[in-house]
A and B are shown apart, each in its own frame.
Chain A
Amino acid sequence: MTPLLTFDEVTFGYGSGTRPVLQRLSLDIESGTATAILGPNGVGKSTLLHLALGWLRAQSGRVLLDGRPLDAYPRRRLGQSMALVPQVERTPFDYTVLDYVLLARAPYLAPLAMPGADDERIAREVIDEVGLGQLSRRTITTLSGGERQNVLVARALAQQPRLLLMDEPTSHLDLAHKVRLVHLVRDRLARGMTVLLTTHEPDVAAAIATHLVLMRDGQVCGSGPLADVFTADNLSATYGVPVQIARIDGRQAVLWT
C-alpha cells in the first residue's frame, strides 16, 4: 500500500551557503498511524512539517502525498488533506473563538465564498470536542495559553484533514491540558486520522505515537514502531545525555538524573 506521506531523499536548507537543515531525509508515514518526530531543539522538526505542507520546498528530493508530488495537487486540495497545529501563532486581532476556527473551512470554500451554516456546525462540533464549547463567543486574546492551544487544535480539526500535523503541541500546556490533548489525539487516531507530530518530550511521544522517528543533525537516526525504537540507548544517543526508561503497567516514562 502506498504510504500517505513520503519523504524521498529530501534535502533542505534556509538560504544558500548555509549547512542544510535536513540532509537526504527519507521517511514514510503510513495511513492510520501516529508518528512522533523526536529530537533536540533546532534539529529540523518544524522544517520537516513545513516541507510536508508544501510551504517549504525541498532543494532536492521529493515529498509525496498518496504517491504523488505535492506540486501535483491544487492548493485547496492540499488544505483538505492536511492541517497544521502551529507551535505558536500570532493573534494580532481579537477574533472570537468561533470566527477563528471557521477560518479552517477555507479549503472547502470557493475563493470569494464565505462560511455558511454547515461550516459553522462543523466548527462548533470541534470547539465542543476540545472542551471550549462555553468559550466560543470569547475573543482569543482573553484566553489562557492552554485554551489558545486548544483553539489551534480545534481549528486544525475543523479542516477535517486526513493527516494532522502538530508542531510541539504540548509545549505550552500544563498537565491537565496535556492529558486532555493526548486523549483527543488518541480518539482521532481510533477514528482513522493520521497524525504526524514533533515533540521534544519523549513522554508525550510514548503516550500518543504508534511510530517513532528519532532525529539528530538533520538526519533520521532511528525510526520504526514505538516499541522497537523507544529504547534507553536510542534516546540517550538522540539527546546526548544518559536516560533510562521505566515501564509501569505497559506505559513508559523517561527517567534522567
Chain B
Amino acid sequence: MGARPAWSWGAAPATRKLVVIAVLLGVAVAISLLIGRYPSPGIIAPDRLATDDLAQRIVFNLRLPRVLTALALGMSLSAAGAVFQQVFANPLVDPGFLGVSQGAAFGASLAIICWGSTVWLVQASAALFAFAGLGFSYLLARRAQFGGSVLRLVFAGIAVSALFSAGVGGLKYMADPMSQLPEITFWLLGGLASITWPQFWSIAPVVFVSLFIVYRMRWRLNLLSLDDSTAFSMGASPGRERALLLSAAVAATAAVVSVCGMVGWVGLIVPHIARRLFGADARYAVPAALLIGGLFGVLCDDVARTLLAGEIPIGILTSLIGALFFVVIFMTYGHVGEQR
C-alpha cells in the first residue's frame, strides 16, 4: 500500500490514525484477556499469570479464543458492512441485507429443532442458509423485470429476508418452549459464551481469507460505488468484482454469525464511523473499519461477559450502542439525506 497521498489528511495523519487505533485495539485485546471473574471480579494481575496455573488456563484456553472470536466478529461484520454499502452505493445497508442474516437465523433455528443443540450442526446450517439467502436474492433479482441491478437486489433481499423471517417465526412457534425455544432465542440474541478453540479455528480460515480479499480489493470498492456503466468505462467488470466482494463479505459474515448468533448494527454503524474519521476513500475507510470493528467487537463482548454476573447477549449490546451511535451520526451528518 502506498503512503497516504498528501491531498486530504496528509501522508502521516491518516496512517498515524490507523496506527493509533491499532494500538488501542492491541491494548483492548490484552486487557480483555485479563478481566473477568477469576480470581475475583476484576483484573488478573499480570504477575499472577506467571505463577497461577488456573489463571493461565482461563486466560489461554477460555478467554483467548473468545476474545479472538469477538475480534473476528467485529472485523468481519464491519468489513462486510463496508463492502455492502459501497457495492450497493447505499450507506444504509449492512451485511444482514440480501437475506443473509435472516437466512442464518432460519438455518440455526431449523438445526436446533431438528437435531437438538449439536453445535457444529447449528453452525453449518446457519452458514448454509446465510449463503442460501444470498443465492435466493441473487436469483430473484435476476428474474425481476424492473429497475436497475441494485434496486432489484434490494427488493429481492427484502422479500427473501421476510420469507426467512416468517420461517423463523414458524419454527419458534413449533419449538419446545422448555428446551428449544430458549436456545433459539439465545442464538437470535447472539453471544460468545460457548466459544472455545475448536470453534475459533473452525471459522478463522474463512474469516482470514475473506477479510484479506476485501482488504486487497478495497480501492476497487470506490469504483464499484459508481454507476455500473461508469465503472465499466474505467475497465472494471462490475458484475464479477461485485460478486467476488459480496461472496467474501457473506462468507465472513456467515462464519462469525454461525458461532456467535445474530449480532446486529455493527456492520451498519462501524463503516460510518470509519468514513467519518478517514473520509470516504475505501483505501483508508476499509482498514479503519476493520480496526474499529475489531475494537467494538472486543469491547462489547467484554461488557457482555463482565458487567453482570450472568452473560448479557451481545446482540442486545451492539443493537443498543449501535442504534445510539446511528442517531448521533444522523443528527450530525449533513449529506446522507441529500443523496439521490
B281 touches A96 (CB 8 A): yes
Q: What's the least CB distance linking A113 to chain B, in Å?
A: 8
Interface contact B233-A93, CB-CB below 8 Å: no
Chain B residues, CB < 8 A from A103: 222-223, 226, 234
Q: How far apart are B167's CB and chain A's nearest CB, in angstroms?
A: 32
**Structural contact, A90 and B89, CB atoms closer than 8 A:** yes
- Decide if A26 is an interface residue (CB 8 Å cutoff): no
A177 CA / B335 CA spacing, docked (Å): 25
Interface of A is mostly: mixed
Cβ of A90 and Cβ of B91 under 8 Å apart? Answer: no
What are the interface flags for B89-129 relative to A under an 8 Å C-beta threshold, 1 for contact and 0 otherwise?
11100000000000000000000000000000000000000
A188 at the B interface (CB under 8 A) = no
Q: Is A107 an interface residue (CB 8 A)?
A: yes
- Given the interface contacts A99-B8, A99-B222, A141-B335, does A94 sit within 8 Å of B233 by beta carbon? no
A114 and B1 in contact, given A79-B235, A90-B89, A90-B339 (Cβ under 8 angstroms): yes
Of A37-45, A81-89, A212-220, the one touching chain B: A81-89
B233 touches which of A84, A91, A99 (Cβ 8 Å): A84
Is B233 touching A53 in the complex (CB atoms < 8 A)? yes
Q: In the assembly, what is the distance between CA of A86 and CA of B86, in Å? A: 20
B89 A115 Cβ-Cβ under 8 A: no
Q: Which of A105-136 contact B (CB under 8 A)?
A: 106-107, 111-112, 114-117, 120, 136
User: Which of chain A's residues 5-52 have a Cβ closer than 8 Å to chain B?
Assistant: 50
- Please pick, from A50, A75, A86, A120, the residue contacting B236 in the complex, using a CB distance under 8 A: A75
The answer to whether B227 touches A116, judged by C-beta atoms less than 8 angstroms apart, is no
A107 touches B7 (CB 8 A): no
Q: Which residue of A lies closest to B334 (CB)?
A: A141
Residue B232 at the A interface, CB < 8 A?
yes
Q: How far is the CA of A86 from the CA of B237 in the complex (A)?
A: 18
Question: Footprint of B on A, CB under 8 Å?
Answer: 50, 53-55, 75-80, 82-84, 86, 89-96, 98-99, 103-104, 106-107, 111-112, 114-117, 120, 136-137, 139, 141, 159, 165
